[in-house]
Structure 1
């Protein structure tokens, strides 16, 4: 769900930036260094967000083992294995 929200936010911001960049005013035509720096920073941030969402997630493998189930046997006068229980982590 976060991926959809992030992608729609990036798309909206890109559209807004493209609209502002398409119609520059005369007052801001002389000094574009700040706009270029802001665009570069915004682009890097958007790229980092998209790249972090596009990576495959790592899931640890399920490790299972069998543990013996023991019961007291009065005939043998000791604990004996009567079965095994599968334990997964």
Structure 2
């Protein structure tokens, strides 16, 4: 799970660095609507990737115990333990 998160974080950091290094020129400074839309889409996509990788996977705890296996022994006149079995629930 950590490996997927690390890959996603490195990918986002790489793309963010590339986006910061590209600065708009003066000629394109008037058209900011497209840049705002692209930034919003990129931000939502990056957030979705990070959130999908970072969520915890619920796994219920496994409880196991060893229960004795008993058999009636006529020689001793009582039940004796002849083994154990693992019971998980």
TM range (shorter): 0.5 to 0.7
Tell me the number of residue pairs that the alignment of Structure 1 and Structure 2 aligns: 83
3-state DSSP of counterpart to 2:86: strand
Gaps of 5+ in 2: none
Q: 2:56 matched to 1:24?
A: no
Taking a change above 3 Å as real, the CA distance of residues 48 and 81 of structure 1, as seen in their structure-2 partners, is farther
Q: Aligned in 2, Cα 1:29/1:23: closer, same or farther, shift over 3 Å? A: closer
RMSD between superposed Cα atoms in Å: 2.8
Match of 2:46 in 1: 46
Partner of 1:57: 57
Structure 1 unaligned spans of 5+ = none
Deviation at residue 71 of structure 1 after TM alignment: 6.3
Superposed displacement of residue 84, structure 1: 4.7
Q: Identify the structure with bigger relative contact order (alpha carbons < 8 Å, sequence gap 6+).
A: 2
Superposition TM-score, scaled by structure 2 size = 0.65
